[in-house]
Amino acid sequence: MIKETEYRLITFYKFVDIANPIDVVKDHKQFCSDIGMKGRIYIGEEGINAQISCNTGQEKAYRLFLDASEHFKNIQDIDTKATPIECHKFPKMIVKYRNEIVAMGEIYKSSEIAKSTFKMSIDEFKEVMDSNPDDYVILDMRNDYEYELGHFKTAIPAATDTFKEVMDKLKDYKAEFAEKEVIMYCTGGIRCEKLGALLENSGLKGVRQLDGGVIKYVNTFDDGNWLGNLYTFDDRISTYVGSENTHTVISKSYYSDLPAEDYFNCRYADCQSHFTAKPDEYKKHYGFCSEQCRDKAIEDLLIRNADFDKNNYKLLRGSIKQNPALEEMIKEKIRKEILAATKNIEFKFKVPVKRRFKKGD
């Protein structure tokens, strides 16, 4: 019997000064494409930020490639942050130049990152979480939609929709946390590395960060200190954390407030809402987050494809572009289908709603 190919999802980063990032991107892209990996890798003056899926052979080849490079030797935590998967979790391989490997509006030298880093090991953090978490401010520096799906117990959300919003929250953080012991955490650690420099420069000093982020912790400990699922930036999106004895569901359905932990995008392509819901509820609402999105989708057909909908909207839009005379006929057909599918549905929200979270939610 032939053994099935083993895959792993690997996430890593390294802050390192790169004088010629465009050349590095070109070489990196060529190698990753040649060996058939899939994922997203951003390289810039600040360093590298990568999330990739690969089989055993691809991983071995890629790690030899990293170790032989001028900039990417000795990447930390590749093994402890790796996750076994059954197949590739990205549709293609993307390697791009970005002047910031994690977007915040500020570019830092690797020396600045190192100088302002106050890391707490996962073992130290576990000791805090097991004994006295209320003695610290546990600050979740991810975005609200990530916090909603899962977070460490007693954690406070950063109250942001995007990481760039942190810049606008600095005064609030300084006012609220200046006299407290703060431990912040991110998914894999990269946002907190950069944020450490920002906080240090803004006057909020000594904020500690969880080394390796949530991924390293939950890959090592199955102790119930993490509540809910983990939001990941790959095809899984909502990732199960824990075991039968430790896993919890803390997120609620956007449609009904019932417990739910599957994550979806609104099917109206111009809407950026993503939310938790039960799969049958999502299908029942035809994948739209609000009445407004459904109605706009009918008008312009900017609809994401879905398994439960037989139409291929990308092809339909292409047909209209090639033959504008078909537009009214196609739109009328889709309008009737969608209205018939949702005729017994009363949307909870008339327009898209962004939900904010606070301690205790």
114-137 pLDDT per residue, tens = 887 789 999 999 999 999 999 999
E strands of the chain, at which residues?
7-15, 38-44, 47-55, 83-85, 93-97, 119-120, 137-140, 150-152, 156-157, 182-185, 208-210, 226-228, 230-231, 238-239, 262-265, 274-277
Per-residue confidence (pLDDT) for residue 170, from 0 to 100 = 82
Confidence of residue 355 (pLDDT cuts 50, 70, 90): low
d(CA 26, CA 113): 26
Q: What is the mean pLDDT of the chain?
A: 92
pLDDT exceeds 80 at position 212: yes
110-239 — its CATH code?
Answer: 3.40.250.10
Per-residue confidence (pLDDT) for residue 129, from 0 to 100 = 97
Cβ–Cβ under 8 Å, residues 35 and 61: yes
pLDDT exceeds 50 at position 359: no
Q: CB 135: neighbour CB atoms within 10 A?
A: 9
* 1 against 189, higher pLDDT: 189
pLDDT exceeds 70 at position 142: yes
From the CA atom positions of the chain, what is the Rg in Å?
A: 22
d(CA 220, CA 206): 26
CATH class assigned to 7-97: alpha beta
CA 343 to chain centre: 34
* 43 against 201, higher pLDDT: 43
Per-residue confidence (pLDDT) for residue 16, from 0 to 100 = 96
Query: Among 36-40, 95-99, 110-114, where is mean pLDDT lowest?
Result: 110-114
Q: Which long-range contacts (CB under 8 A, 24 or more apart) does 339-348 make?
A: 339/298, 341/286, 342/285, 342/286, 342/288, 342/294, 345/284, 345/285, 345/286, 347/285, 347/288, 347/290, 347/291, 347/294, 348/254, 348/255, 348/256
Active site residue 32: no
pLDDT in tens, 157-209: 988 888 878 888 888 888 888 788 999 999 999 999 988 888 888 888 889 99
Per-residue confidence (pLDDT) for residue 358, from 0 to 100 = 46
Among residues 32, 54, 87, 186, which one is catalytic?
A: 186
Phi, psi of 270 (to 5 degrees): -80, -5
Average pLDDT for residues 295-315, to the nearest whole number? 96
CA 184 to chain centre: 17
pLDDT in tens, 20-31: 999 999 999 999
CA 70 to chain centre: 29
Give the residue extent of every domain in the chain.
7-97, 110-239, 262-341
pLDDT exceeds 50 at position 1: no
d(CA 29, CA 51): 14
Confidence of residue 361 (pLDDT cuts 50, 70, 90): very low
Q: At what angle do helices 313-322 and 327-341 cross, to 10 degrees?
A: 160
Give the 3-state secondary structure of residue 115.
Answer: helix
d(CA 240, CA 337): 35
Residues with Cβ < 8 Å from 302, sequence gap 6 or more? 268, 269, 270, 296, 313, 317
Average pLDDT for residues 255-270, to the nearest whole number? 95
pTM of the model: 0.86
pLDDT in tens, 55-76: 999 999 999 999 999 999 999 8
pLDDT exceeds 60 at position 356: no
